[in-house]
Structure 1
Amino acid sequence: MNIGVFLSAAELGEQYTAPAKEFARLIGEGGHTLVWGGSDAGLMKVVADGVQEAGGKLIGVSVEFLHDVARKNADEMVIARDLAHRKAELLLRSDAVVIMVGGTGTLDEATEIMELKKHGLHAKPVVLLNTAGFYDGLEHQFRRMEAEGFLPLPLSDLLHFADDADAAMAYLKERV
């Protein structure tokens, strides 16, 4: 399975890197391929390192203005023309999507995927990996949107919240 992972390229502490390493190990040991933003920095590097160390493959999708931080030893590296093209390529090459901790870019990617699913333009399973309760507030907001009629589909049709790597991988295996 090609697992698209959207996440931060920031240097983060052990509360975020340890669960990321665990998910990376599950990807690699499961014989899966990581499809990610191609960066060799921060949490993106942590996950790519973990996948490779566990025997998995890497497909990176970077953008021209970030080529200097693109991973050199990925199995495949695509250079997209802009961020919109990058998101499209990441989704195209993925059988499933996992959203890990990140900033505004990751949030943009997550909400775009939800919009695509809402309109029937994306049907792949999506997991939001809620490491250390990072997305508790976002889950609360999404549930409010659902309860107050802002989502035309049940939230569970758009994405699944998982608290740890094992739960995220189990959900993906059930649906791909």
Structure 2
Amino acid sequence: MNICVFCSAADLDDRYVVPARQFAELIGKGGHALVWGGSDTGLMKVMADGVRGAGGKLIGISVEFLAHAAYEGADEMVVTKDLAERKAQLLARADAIVVMVGGTGTLDEATEMLELRKHGLHTKPVVLLNTAGFYDGLKEQFLRMEAEGFLPLPLAELVFFAEDGVGALAYLEEKAGIQG
């Protein structure tokens, strides 16, 4: 399975780095490929190193203005002209999507993937990996959106909130088994 992971390129505290490394190792040991933003910094690098170290494949999708920071050890590295093309390529190459901790770029990627799923433009499972409660506030907001009628489908059909990498991967493997 090609698992697209959206996450930060920033250097972060161990409360985020350690679970990211563990999740990356699960991806690699499971024989899955990481499809990611292709960066050689922050959590993106942690994910790539972890997947590579556990025997997994790396498919990077970078963008021209960030190509100088592209991960050198990827099996494949695509450089797009802009962020919109990058997101389209990430989605096209993924069988599933996991959103990890990140800033505005990660949030932008997450909401676009959810909006496309909401409208039926993709049916790939989407997981928000809620490391250290990072997405508790967003989960609360989504529950309010659902309760007040802003979502045209149940939240559980739109996104799965996982508390750890084991739960995220188990959900994705179950969904892949049903769909595949």
CA distance in 2, matches of 1:7, 1:41: 11
CA distance in 2, matches of 1:62, 1:160: 26
CA distance in 2, matches of 1:112, 1:153: 16
Deviation at 1:39, TM superposition (A): 0.1
Deviation at 1:72, TM superposition (A): 1.2
**Amino acid corresponding to residue 103 of structure 1 in structure 2:** G
**Amino acid corresponding to residue 153 of structure 2 in structure 1:** L
Deviation at 1:73, TM superposition (A): 1.3
CA distance in 2, matches of 1:76, 1:70: 11
Q: Does 1:27 align with 2:15?
A: no
Percent identity of equivalent pairs: 70
Q: Deviations over 1:50-75 (max 9, x none)?
A: 00000001000000000110011100
Residue in structure 1 matched with residue 134 of structure 2 by the alignment: 134
Residue in structure 2 matched with residue 61 of structure 1 by the alignment: 61
Which stretches in structure 1 are left out of the alignment for 5+ residues?
Answer: none
Q: TM-score, normalised by structure 2?
A: 0.97
**Amino acid corresponding to residue 8 of structure 2 in structure 1:** S
Q: Deviations over 1:28-87 (max 9, x none)?
A: 001110000000000100010000000001000000000110011100000011000000
Structure 1 consecutive aligned stretches of length 4 or more whose deviation exceeds 6 Å: none
User: What does 1:82-161 align with in structure 2 at a 5 Å threshold?
Assistant: 82-161=82-161
User: What does 1:152-171 align with in structure 2 at a 5 Å threshold?
Assistant: 152-171=152-171
Query: SS at the partner of 2:77?
Result: strand
CA distance in 2, matches of 1:96, 1:90: 10
Taking only aligned residues, the RMSD between alpha carbons, in angstroms, comes to: 0.4
**Amino acid corresponding to residue 142 of structure 1 in structure 2:** F
Q: TM-score, normalised by structure 1?
A: 0.99
State the number of aligned residues. 176
**Amino acid corresponding to residue 46 of structure 2 in structure 1:** V
